[in-house]
Amino acid sequence: MIAVIVFWTLAVITVLSAMITAFSRNIVYSAFALLGSFAGVAGIYLLLGADFLFIIQIFIYIGGILVVTIFAVMLTQGVADMNISNRIVGLIPAALIALLAGAVMLEAILRTPWPHPGTAALNPTTHAIGNAFLGPFLLPFEIASVVLLAALIGAIVISRQAARAEA
């Protein structure tokens, strides 16, 4: 019973924080609301016994991506005072796409045969994921790392060219 209450509390925190992130007119509030969303997802991973995903969510998303995003927002002068003139332009298509995506997710939720609580044992996942990365999935893992390195180098080259053009 406690696990169900904790799950629904985390789910509500995650969804409300995501809604604040998406719909807030202040980018600073959006960046800080993203913390609640990431933390809620991490809590759900912990509740499900996915220890590896929980730690990755904390280290990578909260510790890395969110901190860099908040620093970028806080160090950009006047970003909270920006006035966007065409705010209403994409509201109708966005609402239609959100309703369509919500309908698809609701259909998936209603048609999925959900397992009953207590049917799956909570086993650590870190060992199996490590063996998979160093076994049959080593080549795709390394290819993904090379693609991410190329994207990082491309981002550096583009930002340096933009900095030179401004100077």
Show Cβ contacts of residue 94 under 8 Å, excluding neighbours closer than 6 positions: none
Q: Can you tell me whether residue 129 is helix, strand or coil?
A: helix
CA distances from 52 to 31, 47, 57, 127, 144 (A): 25, 12, 9, 9, 19
pLDDT at 86 over 80: no
pTM: 0.63
Any idea which residue has 């239609």 for tokens? 96
pLDDT tens digit sequence for 118-159: 655 667 778 887 888 788 888 988 999 999 999 989 888 888
Q: What percent of the chain has pLDDT over 90?
A: 33
Q: Write down the mean pLDDT value for the chain.
A: 85
